[in-house]
Amino acid sequence: MDVKKSWGYISILIGGLSLLWGAVSLSSMAAQEQVFSDMGRFMDAGGGDFFTSYNAEHAISEAKNKNVVILSTGLILSSLGSFLMRGLLDK
């Protein structure tokens, strides 16, 4: 088996899984924002020094950044795999 073809299959597989995971994660961000805002209000109502260090907006932005990185990694790996496989499937 050709090395480019096998690495192309691997890149497309990992890229596809990463795209799927990133898309599902980003689509559930609306529900996560609601949960984080509810938790933030609950912790603010409880008071205490420990709870004041929790910031719901910061947690939401961290989760969104993680999901965008996963989605972009999947896009890059899928395009790299398709570049490696270019012209090899026609043979």
pLDDT tens per residue, range 17-60: 888 888 887 777 766 666 666 666 666 666 555 555 666 677 77
Burial (CB count within 10 angstroms: exposed 0-12, middle 13-18, buried 19+), residue 53: exposed
Q: Are 31 and 60 in contact (CB under 8 A)?
A: no
Query: Is residue 7 a part of any domain in this protein?
Result: yes
In a domain, 23, yes or no: yes
* Predicted pLDDT at 45: 60
Domain assignment present for residue 15? The answer is: yes
Domain presence at residue 77: yes
Is 51 within a domain?
A: yes
Q: Is residue 90 part of a domain?
A: no
pTM over 0.95: no
Mean pLDDT (whole number) for 66-75: 87
Any residues with CB less than 8 A from the CB of 22 and at least 6 apart, and which?
A: 67, 68, 70, 71, 72, 73, 74
Q: Into how many domains does the chain fold?
A: 1
pLDDT above 80: residue 82:
yes
What pLDDT, on a 0 to 100 scale, did the predictor assign at position 81? 85
The verdict on residue 91 lying in a domain is no
Domain span at residue 75 reads: 3-85
